[in-house]
Amino acid sequence: MLNNILRFQQSLDKRKAEGTLRRLRLQSEGVDFHSNDYLGFAQNKELQNILLQKVIENPQMLSGSTGSRLISGNSDVANSVEHFIAQQHHFESALLFPSGYNANLALFSTLPSRHDTVIVDEQIHRSVHDACQLSNAKKLKFKHNDLEDLENVLKRQEGHCYIAIESLYSMEGDFAPLQEIAAIAERYKASLIVDEAHAFGVFGYGLIEKYELQKQVSAAVVTYGKALGAHGAAILCSETVKSYLVNFASPFIYTTSAQDFQWISIKSGYEFLDQNIELSKKLQDNIRIFRSQNLDSPSAETSPVQAILIPDNQKLKTVQDTLSEEGFLTYAIYSPTVKEGSERLRICLHSFNTEQEIMKLTEIIKEFM
């Protein structure tokens, strides 16, 4: 153990020396340009009061579920919220999870068998990589959003392939060419799985709904910890895939279900989203203001995640520190987390940011360009 502790300490010291040591900090005061609360739902008093009222009517929903959903932890609420979600997204069925990480872990550790290949976009979320480590399938990467490379990888495979993409990428803030990838998946008889974590809520119910691709994807993941200001996730899929996951997905089976309050807050989030579509319009107005400042960014015009390339760890740190001193909270991504030369400041825009805040933020950044 002593040797291990030494090794742990050496790794931590190395990170500290590189300036990449992670620490648990309390939420800092400042203008929020870093959270995923794109529509401000996590601080919306009206939504909080709706939830409070539901708790007062049924305080039992705050209590623990008492077990796995396969033993004592299932409830009418969980079943009916899943039914509601499936209907909203025009999928045959839905399966709830306590988080998006767990949903991806369940999907990719369970669906692909040892003879299959999972082909992931090189920018796919860490949860998919972790899930693949739990599976017996082979994992290959294709270049980010590169259709030709995806086809080249697909052509070389013999068994069944799964393609894993995000509809809106969380670090780059760009969209996947969803329709084109769906067509390729169809041509190669591959199963397409789409993570809608950052698109859901910002673009209605997500981009699969927008482009009506339900029949062309084997499963989609929507998460509720971002635009919905709640917590949890759902896998949208067919009845057969849901039943297969309920039977074989360890991350679903061997864990205590979340309490009903989590499922109720998700349903309330959907209803609140429908009643407040002006918030996503306000968010788009703010994104337009930000984009009008012409900073160097690989992100899409309408994305709430805007990455600003500052390709030098030291300079990036100075920009972020200066912004922080001026009261702006942003997130810097250093190499080696991203490739050297593509270090970036990740800016998240929200419906509640003001024009003045956005202009001041961009003004400071521009001073370093």
Ligand X SMILES: Cc1ncc(COP(=O)(O)O)c(C=O)c1O
Interface residues toward ligand X, by CB under 6 A: 99-101, 104, 125, 127, 166, 170, 195, 197, 223, 225, 233
Closer CB to ligand X, residue 233 or residue 245? 233
Asked whether the beta carbons of 30 and 353 are under 8 A apart, the reply is no
| Pair of tokens at residue 369 | 């360009």
Closer CB to ligand X, residue 125 or residue 350? 125
Asked whether the beta carbons of 97 and 252 are under 8 A apart, the reply is yes
Closer CB to ligand X, residue 65 or residue 104? 104
Closer CB to ligand X, residue 141 or residue 160? 141
In the complex, what is the shortest distance from the CB of residue 98 to ligand X, in angstroms, rounded to a whole number? 8
In the complex, what is the shortest distance from the CB of residue 261 to ligand X, in angstroms, rounded to a whole number? 16
Residues 6 or more apart whose Cβ sits within 8 Å of residue 220: 89, 91, 193, 194, 195, 196, 206, 208, 235, 236, 237
Q: What is the CA radius of gyration of the chain?
A: 21
183 CB burial (10 A radius; 0-12, 13-18, 19+): middle
Say how far apart CA 136 and CA 112 lie, in whole Å. Answer: 8
Residue nearest ligand X, Cβ-based: 100
Burial 77-91 (b: 16+ CB within 10 A, else e): bbeebbebbbebbeb
Residues 6 or more apart whose Cβ sits within 8 Å of residue 345: 307, 308, 310, 316, 319, 320, 330, 331, 332, 333, 365
Closer CB to ligand X, residue 121 or residue 357? 121
Say how far apart CA 278 and CA 187 lie, in whole Å. Answer: 39
Asked whether the beta carbons of 262 and 230 are under 8 A apart, the reply is yes
In the complex, what is the shortest distance from the CB of residue 281 to ligand X, in angstroms, rounded to a whole number? 23
Q: Are strands 93-97 and 219-223 parallel, antiparallel or unpaired?
A: unpaired
In the complex, what is the shortest distance from the CB of residue 115 to ligand X, in angstroms, rounded to a whole number? 26
Closer CB to ligand X, residue 170 or residue 362? 170
In the complex, what is the shortest distance from the CB of residue 123 to ligand X, in angstroms, rounded to a whole number? 9
Closer CB to ligand X, residue 142 or residue 319? 142
- DSSP letter for each residue of 120-159: EETT--HHHHHHHHHSSSEEEEE-TT-HHHHHHHHHT--S
For the chain, count helices (H), then strands (E).
14, 12
In the complex, what is the shortest distance from the CB of residue 194 to ligand X, in angstroms, rounded to a whole number? 10
Total Cβ atoms within 10 A of residue 288: 13
Asked whether the beta carbons of 222 and 206 are under 8 A apart, the reply is yes
Closer CB to ligand X, residue 266 or residue 358? 266
In the complex, what is the shortest distance from the CB of residue 40 to ligand X, in angstroms, rounded to a whole number? 18
Closer CB to ligand X, residue 166 or residue 174? 166
In the complex, what is the shortest distance from the CB of residue 335 to ligand X, in angstroms, rounded to a whole number? 20
In the complex, what is the shortest distance from the CB of residue 72 to ligand X, in angstroms, rounded to a whole number? 25
